[in-house]
């Protein structure tokens, strides 16, 4: 994983089905390729789009094997974030 850093403002720009990023535990994920294959559909992912809401609880609902797959979508970190803060929002 590269050491890219993104501001919340940058992440909020990626809030559509064809360009969707999420934040979880101060890491940034580009889940665009997942949008059409997520078992719950893309609408559930887009419900948080651009809100900045914490969705760590949604992460914990995933199985351990699904959580490991998140690494495939990891693209960086939130700029100037407190690494101890568990922030997760779908953007």
* Domains by residue range for the chain, with CATH: 5-90 (3.10.120.10)
User: Any long-range contacts for 10-15 (C-beta under 8 Å, 24+ apart)?
Assistant: 11/78, 11/91, 12/50, 12/52, 12/91, 13/91, 14/91, 15/46, 15/49, 15/50, 15/91
Residue 10's nearest CA partner among 59, 50, 56 is 50
Quick one: pLDDT band at residue 86, thresholds 50, 70, 90? Answer: very low
Q: Quick: pLDDT tens for 45-76.
A: 887 766 655 567 677 778 898 888 889 999 99
So what's the pLDDT on residue 5? 95
């Amino acid at each position: 994983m590269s050491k890219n850093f993104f501001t919340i403002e940058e992440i909020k720009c990626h809030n559509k089905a064809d360009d969707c990023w999420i934040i979880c535990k101060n890491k940034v994920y580009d889940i665009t390729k997942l949008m059409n294959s997520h078992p719950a559909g893309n609408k559930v992912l887009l419900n948080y789009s651009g809100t900045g809401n914490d969705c760590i609880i949604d992460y914990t609902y995933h199985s351990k094997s699904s959580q490991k797959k998140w690494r495939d979508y990891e693209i960086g970190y939130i700029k100037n974030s407190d690494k101890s803060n568990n922030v997760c929002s779908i953007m």
